[in-house]
Amino acid sequence: MLELDNSVFTELTTERLVLRALSPDDVEAVFELRSDPVAMHYVPRPLATSLDDAAAHIALILDTQRANNCVQWAIALKGDPTTMVGIVGFWRMKKEHYRAELGYMLSPRFWGAGLITEAIAAVADHAFNVLGLHSIEAIVDADNPASMRVLEKNDFVREAWFREDFFWNGKFRDSVVYGKLNPK
């Protein structure tokens, strides 16, 4: 079974990004992201309505990470590593299967610049070469072609399309599962 040890957090860097530990100091950025109806459009979770909601979200991530059940990074630009512009990482860990679910959000101000593609490439490389994952999955709302393109740019393959498999905001929605195998 896969063993995670988050006692020492690994910061990742790319050409334009710093992927660093999420911190309670990110509460305003998390609130901005999770209270934005545009950013949250394809995320089946309630909008944050207060800084307390954002703080609770950060606390949940940090607690789950301390329990070695997830790995999440705050996305920041290299020129301003203290300002979070998104979150990327592995929330649902299927340790017995060496598989994890990838999730990501980026402030709409930075959409279309290739930043999330860059972040996913870095965390996928880390997942396979450091964490020891065999595969990664990502579950995407079927009405989100931009997210599908980002995954395909990172060599994820569509594995399944589930029709009306989740209910959100009074409507049944389709989801698409993408996967990537460790290339080794």
- How many other CB atoms are found less than 10 A from the CB of residue 81? 15
- pLDDT for the residue numbered 17: 98
The two beta strands, 135-141 and 99-106, are: parallel
- pLDDT for the residue numbered 126: 97
The gap from C-alpha 40 to its chain's centroid, in whole angstroms, comes to 13
**Residue 33: both structure tokens together:** 């992201």
- pLDDT for the residue numbered 6: 87
CATH for 12-133 is: 3.40.630.30
The arithmetic mean of pLDDT across residues 127-139, rounded, is: 97
Please name the residue that has the structure tokens 């290299």: 78
- pLDDT for the residue numbered 34: 97
DSSP sequence for 52-66: HHHHHHHHHHHHHHH
Cα end-to-end span (Å), the chain? 18
pLDDT band at 81; cut points 50, 70, 90: confident
What would the pLDDT profile of 12-49 be if each residue is shown by its tens digit?
Answer: 999 999 999 999 999 999 999 999 999 999 999 999 99
**Residue 100: both structure tokens together:** 């994890």
Q: Note if the pTM is more than 0.75.
A: yes
